[in-house]
């Protein structure tokens, strides 16, 4: 793919208060107990509005930075999937080729055979592979990708490939390993070259090995062991346990630009974008009615149609958002993982409000 000019940074203005989006963020803080919340919404005119609520640091009471950096969790999967699909477009990877072709001898276990699992099934979570994060202990330390795969493969398959759908981070660690095997470059370098620099995502990056901090202005992220337990600051941590499935850092406006560019055809050829948007029914952790493509989720809107995004959950941060076919984008983040489904649904409702009200607030 040819190199394109870097896009200009989005114009960003503080939103007037209160409006529908601001009220949703305020409710996430007051009613759901999120320490802080932040959002970016881009209308068809290209203007981006930023929003904040709550505090960015509960110890000092410091404000939430507008458009601050957050750990984006499983939104990373969409970046990984885009790279794999670009390789498909280049003829270097085939979606319906067995994983064994690219990672010989790696995928073996009880009911598990890399000859029977395709690249497409990895990207769509229809491989049946067990989810390694179900078996990690509470010790957040540095992990190598192959170590994560080995943890998963000690456990039996959930179902035969293609016979079900279960969300498994193992699929995306393997997709990242395939990328490295095919390109002979680190996954982080491929994401940076093919997506981040191409789109001019100035505040988006894949943390380097051992980098436990968040580089730019950011709200602190918190962990709560129970609904009534104290907030524990978990901002700084080694995210290598999430790797290709969830390691990246970004901002709401950068995520808006990424999902908008993806939906608009700026990152993939039409053939690969069509494959990415070919969906199956998705279950938890996604909203009711969601459909899962290849690292991309369609979520129904209350005002009609769907938006395309993914969402991410990682200790300290929860994000939702995406883009509509006609160019609207919205991303909402809170600074604690929801302790129940209700909070996650409220976060999704904030995105719905942002996209459905976008024409009225721009």
Please state, in angstroms and rounded to a whole number, the distance separating the CA atoms of residues 171 and 175.
6
Please state, in angstroms and rounded to a whole number, the distance separating the CA atoms of residues 337 and 33.
11
Please state, in angstroms and rounded to a whole number, the distance separating the CA atoms of residues 225 and 66.
28
DSSP 224: -
Helix-then-strand count for the chain, H and E:
13, 17
Please state, in angstroms and rounded to a whole number, the distance separating the CA atoms of residues 340 and 73.
18
At CA 86, angle to CA 85 and CA 87, rounded to 5? 85
Three-class secondary structure of residue 77 per DSSP = helix
* Backbone φ and ψ of 112, nearest 5°: -125, 125
User: Residue 69 in contact with residue 31, Cβ under 8 Å?
Assistant: no
CB burial of residue 181 (10 Å; 0-12, 13-18, 19+):
middle
Cβ within 8 Å of residue 137, ≥6 positions away: none
User: Residue 120 in contact with residue 294, Cβ under 8 Å?
Assistant: yes
Please state, in angstroms and rounded to a whole number, the distance separating the CA atoms of residues 319 and 75.
8
1-13 b/e with 16+ CB inside 10 Å = b?
eeeeeeeeebebe
Quote the distance between the C-alpha of residue 270 and its chain's center. 22
The residues annotated with a catalytic role in the active site are 74
- Count the neighbouring beta carbons within 10 Å of the beta carbon of residue 143: 18
Three-class secondary structure of residue 329 per DSSP = strand
Cβ within 8 Å of residue 58, ≥6 positions away: 35, 220, 222, 231, 233
């Amino acid at each position: 793919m040819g190199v394109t000019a870097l896009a200009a940074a989005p114009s960003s203005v503080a939103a007037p208060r209160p409006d529908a989006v601001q009220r949703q963020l305020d409710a996430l803080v007051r009613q759901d107990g999120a320490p802080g919340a932040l959002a970016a919404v881009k209308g068809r005119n290209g203007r981006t509005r930023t929003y904040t609520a709550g505090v960015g640091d509960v110890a000092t009471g410091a404000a939430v930075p507008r458009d601050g950096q957050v750990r984006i969790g499983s939104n990373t999967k969409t970046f990984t999937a885009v790279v794999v699909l670009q390789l498909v477009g280049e003829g270097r990877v085939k979606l319906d080729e067995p994983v064994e072709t690219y990672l010989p001898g790696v995928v073996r276990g009880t009911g598990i055979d890399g000859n029977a699992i395709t690249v497409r099934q990895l990207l769509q979570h229809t491989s049946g592979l067990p989810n390694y994060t179900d078996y990690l202990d509470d010790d957040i330390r540095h992990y190598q990708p192959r170590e994560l795969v080995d943890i998963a493969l000690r456990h039996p398959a959930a179902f035969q490939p293609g016979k079900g759908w279960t969300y498994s981070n193992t699929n995306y660690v393997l997709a990242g390993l395939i990328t490295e095997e095919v390109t002979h470059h680190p996954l982080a370098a491929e994401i940076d070259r093919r997506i981040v620099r191409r789109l001019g995502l100035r505040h988006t990056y894949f943390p380097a090995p051992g980098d436990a901090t968040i580089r730019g202005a950011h709200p602190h992220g918190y962990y709560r062991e129970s609904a009534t337990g104290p907030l524990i600051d978990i901002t700084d941590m080694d995210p290598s346990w999430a790797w290709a499935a969830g390691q990246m850092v970004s901002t709401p406006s950068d995520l808006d630009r990424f999902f908008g560019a993806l939906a608009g055809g700026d990152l993939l050829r039409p053939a690969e974008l069509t494959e990415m948007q070919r969906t199956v029914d998705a279950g938890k952790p996604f909203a009711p009615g969601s459909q899962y493509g290849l690292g991309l989720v369609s979520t129904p809107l209350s005002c009609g149609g769907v938006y395309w995004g993914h969402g991410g959950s990682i200790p300290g941060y929860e994000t939702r958002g995406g883009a509509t076919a006609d160019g609207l984008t919205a991303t909402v983040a809170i600074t604690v993982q929801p302790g129940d489904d209700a909070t996650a649904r409220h976060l999704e409702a904030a995105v719905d409000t942002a996209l459905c009200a976008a024409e009225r607030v721009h």
